[in-house]
Amino acid sequence: MMVFSEFQLISVLAQEMNMRKAAERLFVSQPALSQRLQTIEKDWGSKLFLRSQKGLSLTSAGELVVKFAREMLEKEEKVREEIESMESEVHGTLKIACASIVGQNWLPQILKRYLQRYPHAKISLITGWSSEILKSLYDGQVHIGIIRGTPDWKGVKKHLFKDMLYLVDTEMSKMEQVLGTDRPFIQFKSDSNYYQEIQDWWHRQFQTVPKRTIVVDQIETCKQMAFNGIGYAILPAITLNDKDENYFKLPLMDEHNDPIKRDTWLVGYDSAFELKQVQAFSELLDEFLLEHSANGHS
């Protein structure tokens, strides 16, 4: 069976129909070319080229072998193009574990842009609490995680944005009114560090506990209950749409009277960031954050 260099040899001979010119194009000597042609003809068990003073002419067998050689060279070229395309384009599945709140309110616009730009890429997305996301990373189930709060993470860690926390209500326009209301404080279940941050703020602000509390399992449920006037809630800015004007939002302040903000981070192992699909996502994130740096997500 001929190897690819022999396909090239046969193809060039058929183009030039001249041993000297073919040898020059192939960067070999004429005797070496003659010897290789004899070996090829021996393998096929038939003469492929007839020599004369005018040059070369193809035999019937030669025409078939030349056709075969050209087809193989074309196939090789297509495969090489595909390999180059794979190396230049982003393929494979991007596996992300993301904090539910970010997955619902911030990430979709970025994933849309990612899929538009890299149509050959796929996405696998799971959402949950930050503790669950870190476990997914430790277990190797995902390439990268997007988590809330400040992570204790030794690998790659990229800060994405901060967003403020607000007390949201349809009736109360001042923070001190909280102590006078009988309407419940609506809480959503969350990671312990977020819960503790709210508790610390509450005790610092009011030196007491809420009169009534409703606990729900999802932040979206909490938000809708607050928007419908059932009670008041503490929600991150990421969940609030500026177009909604039927509620008051009062910023939470720390002991230094600075706004309390929640951090969001991208984390992953170094090895994951060597993957083309992860590199592409990370670069797209940088681009997106630069565009939106003036919109309050810093």
pLDDT given for residue 244 in this prediction: 62
Please tell me whether residues 84 and 157 are part of one structural domain: no
Final residue belonging to a domain, choices 88, 114, 129: 88
Written as one string, the DSSP assignment of 162-192 is: EEEEEEEESS--SGGGGGG--SPEEEE---H
CATH of the domain at 51: 1.10.10.10
Please tell me whether residues 183 and 211 are part of one structural domain: yes
Give the Cα separation of 251 and 249 in Å (integer).
6
Angle between helices 4-16 and 19-26 (to 10 degrees): 140
Please tell me whether residues 288 and 172 are part of one structural domain: no
What tens digit of pLDDT does each residue of 2-36 get? 555 899 999 999 999 999 999 999 989 999 999 99
Please tell me whether residues 82 and 101 are part of one structural domain: no
Please tell me whether residues 252 and 275 are part of one structural domain: no
Kindly indicate the confidence band of residue 216, based on its pLDDT and cuts at 50, 70 and 90: very high
Please tell me whether residues 123 and 83 are part of one structural domain: no
pTM for the model:
0.68
Please tell me whether residues 202 and 224 are part of one structural domain: yes
Query: Among residues 83, 61, 63, which one has the least CA distance to residue 14?
Result: 63
CATH of the domain at 241: 3.40.190.290
Range of the domain at 155: 93-161+266-295
64 pLDDT higher than 80: yes
Which pairing describes strands 261-268 and 156-169: parallel, antiparallel, or unpaired? Answer: antiparallel
Give the Cα separation of 52 and 282 in Å (integer).
65
Mean pLDDT, range 72-77, rounded to an integer = 88
Final residue belonging to a domain, choices 58, 88, 118: 88
Please tell me whether residues 69 and 102 are part of one structural domain: no
Percent of residues, the chain, with pLDDT higher than 90: 69
pLDDT given for residue 218 in this prediction: 87
Comparing 152 with 89, the larger pLDDT belongs to 152
Q: Into how many domains does the chain fold?
A: 3
What tens digit of pLDDT does each residue of 224-276 get? 999 999 999 999 999 987 666 789 999 999 999 999 999 999 999 999 998 88
Q: What is the mean pLDDT of the chain?
A: 89
Please tell me whether residues 172 and 137 are part of one structural domain: no
pLDDT given for residue 116 in this prediction: 94
Please tell me whether residues 200 and 291 are part of one structural domain: no
What tens digit of pLDDT does each residue of 158-207 get? 999 999 999 999 999 999 999 999 999 999 988 767 888 899 999 999 99
Residue 232 CB partners (closer than 8 Å, separation 6+)? 167, 168, 169, 171, 172, 178, 181, 183, 184, 185, 186, 226
pLDDT given for residue 297 in this prediction: 46
Please tell me whether residues 171 and 250 are part of one structural domain: yes
pLDDT given for residue 298 in this prediction: 44
Please tell me whether residues 167 and 202 are part of one structural domain: yes
CATH of the domain at 133: 3.40.190.10
124 pLDDT higher than 80: yes
